[in-house]
Structure 1
Amino acid sequence: MTSVMDTRMADTKLATTSTGPVASSPSALRSVNRQLGASDLHVFPLAMSGNVFGWTSDVVATNAILDSYADAGGNFIDTADSYAAGRSEIMIGNWMRDRRNRRDMVVATKVGKSADNPGLSARALTASVHASLERLRTGYVDLLYLHVDDESVPFEETLFAVDELIRAGKVRYFGVSDHTGNRLIEARIASGQMGIAPMVALQNHYNLMHRGEYEGDLARVADRQGLGVMPRFALASGFLTGKYRSRGDLAKNERGGEAAKYVNRRGHKVLSVLDRVAASHEASVATVALAWLLTKPNVVAPVASASRPEQVADLTAAARLQLTRAQVAELDRVSA
């Protein structure tokens, strides 16, 4: 009998090129995995965030979380050199080494906020990437994000440094995090003028409770440039899991303060609709909140974290949950 692990490994088998892996998923997964912008990366529609690895999740919990994610077909891991002062990357790298699955995974990391190499000068960026590669125990990063918009450094310097890393095979593709629409346009123009690799991805704060920052200018620019969008804080600091419904709920969790701003009349209305939609699908509130993001143009994979392996199933279930048009419209209306 074929085991679950054997099936997963067959389903997520990757073909190799000189610069790294290229997804070649069979039809069973092709209907779920999504192409990331203009790249040849095909990723599971839920990116597992490493922001708690090495912080609130120890090695045992981290390995169990990543095992559960991979067993569900997940292949997209999101981290940063600044998460837990680099420990997140170390734990992910050790997990991939122990599981011998680096070529099955699409690894995204971010640079620009580390204490050792802050900012996006050519020197800092190059040093940061080399340090990340060492911690991740890999020769290349599939997707590199510029974690900050460092306006103290000419954009051309940063972009040229990224292009050199791409030409050297150390980075496959790059994107940005927390940049304005105007800066995205500047980057595209500069890339064209310099004849270097354009960005393919955007990571930005976006969820049912926080829509204005992304929807509008950023969304229009992302659409025009064909960027793959990875919403971060996809569950609004846990509020969209449904576990924070009162001030008392906030007090029970040491991280509840991050969700406090959503415990209000609007938040309760959003949860009420999520409860109703979730019940109709026999799904969790978190699954529905993530599935809503996946209905939005250019969204490839929301980024969400789990602090325990048993939470992973609700996250990955969003990849296969089909909301009706009426349900999407109702969630649009109540969260506007």
Structure 2
Amino acid sequence: MASSSLLHSTLPFPSSPNARTRTKPYSPFLNNKKTTTAIVNVIRADKGALQYRKLGDSDLNISEITLGTMTFGQQNTEKEAHEILSYAFDNGINALDTAEAYPVPMRKETQGRTDLYISSWLKSQPRDKIIVATKVLRVDAANIRESVEKSLKRLNTDYIDLLQIHWPDRYVSLFGEFLYDPSKWRESVPFVEQLRALQELIDQGKVRYIGVSNETSYGVMEFVHASKVEGLPKIVSIQNSYSLLVRCKFEIDLVEVCHPNNCNIGLLAYSPLGGGSLTGNYIDIESETAKRGRLNLFPGYMERYKGSATKEATIKYNDVAKKHGLTLVQLALGFARDRPFMTISIIGATSVDQLKEDIDAFLTTERPLPPEVMADIENVFRRYKDPAVL
């Protein structure tokens, strides 16, 4: 595999700076276990506040909502991004999720702009109180090193709290493809090579913890096995799609793999609102709200949520929400929030009002959702199992 990916070779950014070494930052919030436990217990005693959870085997105590930032630089200006970030962190969120490929849809002209908007906001923030997660696309050793150096430069920070592999280097079924196609198998970068490159960055103090994204049970087990056999760093998290519309791939067997008594991998669920479908805004596809939504702004984007089965299932879940005096957003986010295997829900927003609605849904919806609500959800699920399949 080439030492520099196509993505990196087309970027407008300068060469990576010389490697720097540093020690892990001291943060009383993140590293003092007694203090953290006390804070978490106080917060959990107040049902009107966000909860904080330990992420896998790490020392990261992370808010149950992580702010997704993939619209920054495409749908959001820098000023809007700063307003959203400030509202999130003023209201208890202590983590943000970005990626070298952001904003989306991915374009050479805008790539990296999300990090730059985050960087200009971070300048006025206490860095050791903010958990920064990002992702790398190409996973051979050279590209992992290059990606991290460029991310550090764009973010203007010395370290990344959680570095995730954006999606597997090998073929896996993703983004609406439900079944694995054996004919698409291809050679891929060995798991050990990926972990050795990540170990180097951890040793240099540039990365604190590592995780995966869009991964399968096979991939998680291979990473965990390689770390045990070779004495390499263990992944602490998995960032996969999970919502009322996308359940089976995680619930069938990843839930067992990631269980605290097995591999202890924390789930960061992205798209808990199904790409916006579970806001209800796309039920009437001709409405002005739907026309302004990202599923219609970008042709071909998240096509998996545009099928008739997704719409039918969404209508049924909306009926459940109305029956129990909830909004569809409250039902969807409350469901994801309460799953026993859930660590974090990643929520993005294109406005402060939208983010406020989502945070309020977490905080005001009865915790956990009552048994009668869950029973009605399961009734819909039995008829519409993962409707977002192409």
User: Is the shorter-chain TM-score for this pair beyond 0.5, marking a shared fold?
Assistant: yes
The one of 291, 305, 326 aligned to 1:252: 291
Deviation at 1:101, TM superposition (A): 2.5
- Between 153-162 and 294-303, the greater mean CA deviation after superposition: 294-303
3-state DSSP of counterpart to 1:220? helix
Identity %: 31
- Counting only pairs closer than 5 Å after superposition, residues 192-231 of structure 1 correspond to structure 2 as 192-223=228-259, 224-231=262-269
Deviation at 1:35, TM superposition (A): 1.2
Q: Match for residue 114 of structure 2?
A: 88
Q: Aligned Cα RMSD in Å? A: 1.9
The one of 372, 377, 383 aligned to 1:326: 372
The one of 127, 133, 136 aligned to 1:108: 133
Residue deviations 1:124-179 (CA, integer Å, cap 9, x gap)? 00110111111111111111110121132111110111111112211111110112
TM-score using structure 2 length? 0.75
Contact 1:46–1:315 under 8 Å retained in 2: no
The one of 331, 340, 344 aligned to 1:301: 344
3-state DSSP of counterpart to 1:93? helix
Contact 2:245–2:310 under 8 Å retained in 1: no
Q: Which runs of 5+ in 2 are unaligned?
A: 1-22, 46-50, 104-110, 171-187, 297-301, 383-390
3-state DSSP of counterpart to 1:108? strand
Select the structure of larger CA radius of gyration: 2
3-state DSSP of counterpart to 2:96? strand
**CA–CA distance in structure 1, aligned partners of residues 86 and 26 of structure 2:** 22
**CA–CA distance in structure 2, aligned partners of residues 33 and 294 of structure 1:** 12
Q: Which runs of 5+ in 1 are unaligned?
A: 1-16, 113-118
Q: Match for residue 328 of structure 2?
A: 285
Q: Match for residue 210 of structure 2?
A: 174
**CA–CA distance in structure 2, aligned partners of residues 327 and 246 of structure 1:** 25
Q: Match for residue 132 of structure 1?
A: 151
Q: Which amino acid aligns with 2:24?
A: S
**CA–CA distance in structure 2, aligned partners of residues 121 and 307 of structure 1:** 34
Q: Which amino acid aligns with 1:199?
A: I
- Between 85-94 and 31-40, the greater mean CA deviation after superposition: 31-40
Residue deviations 1:290-322 (CA, integer Å, cap 9, x gap)? 121121122111112100111111222344331
- Counting only pairs closer than 5 Å after superposition, residues 11-50 of structure 1 correspond to structure 2 as 18-21=24-27, 22-23=29-30, 24-25=35-36, 26=39, 27-29=41-43, 32-50=51-69
Deviation at 1:328, TM superposition (A): 2.5
3-state DSSP of counterpart to 1:213? helix
Residue deviations 1:68-106 (CA, integer Å, cap 9, x gap)? 1111111110110100311111111211113x2222211
TM-score using structure 1 length? 0.86
- Counting only pairs closer than 5 Å after superposition, residues 146-157 of structure 1 correspond to structure 2 as 146-151=165-170, 152-157=188-193
**CA–CA distance in structure 1, aligned partners of residues 123 and 317 of structure 2:** 42
Q: Which amino acid aligns with 1:235?
A: L
Name the count of aligned residue pairs.
Answer: 309
Deviation at 1:233, TM superposition (A): 1.4
CA 69–213 in structure 1, closer or farther in 2 if over 3 Å, else same: same
3-state DSSP of counterpart to 2:84? helix
Q: Match for residue 314 of structure 1?
A: 357
Residue deviations 1:209-233 (CA, integer Å, cap 9, x gap)? 1112221122221112111101111
Contact 1:244–1:263 under 8 Å retained in 2: no
Residue deviations 1:161-204 (CA, integer Å, cap 9, x gap)? 11111122111111101121011111111100111111110011
**CA–CA distance in structure 1, aligned partners of residues 129 and 379 of structure 2:** 39
Q: Which amino acid aligns with 1:255?
A: R
Q: Which amino acid aligns with 1:253?
A: R
Q: Match for residue 275 of structure 2?
A: 237
Contact 1:45–1:319 under 8 Å retained in 2: no
CA 194–156 in structure 1, closer or farther in 2 if over 3 Å, else same: same
Q: Match for residue 77 of structure 1?
A: 96
Q: Which consecutive aligned stretches of 4+ in structure 1 deviate over 6 angstroms post-superposition? A: none
Contact 1:44–1:319 under 8 Å retained in 2: no
Q: Which amino acid aligns with 1:292?
A: F
CA 263–186 in structure 1, closer or farther in 2 if over 3 Å, else same: closer
**CA–CA distance in structure 2, aligned partners of residues 254 and 74 of structure 1:** 25
**CA–CA distance in structure 1, aligned partners of residues 331 and 356 of structure 2:** 13
Q: Higher helix fraction: Structure 1 or Structure 2? A: 1
Deviation at 1:251, TM superposition (A): 5.2
Deviation at 1:263, TM superposition (A): 5.1
Contact 1:148–1:178 under 8 Å retained in 2: yes
Q: Match for residue 272 of structure 1?
A: 319
CA 276–137 in structure 1, closer or farther in 2 if over 3 Å, else same: farther
Deviation at 1:276, TM superposition (A): 3.2
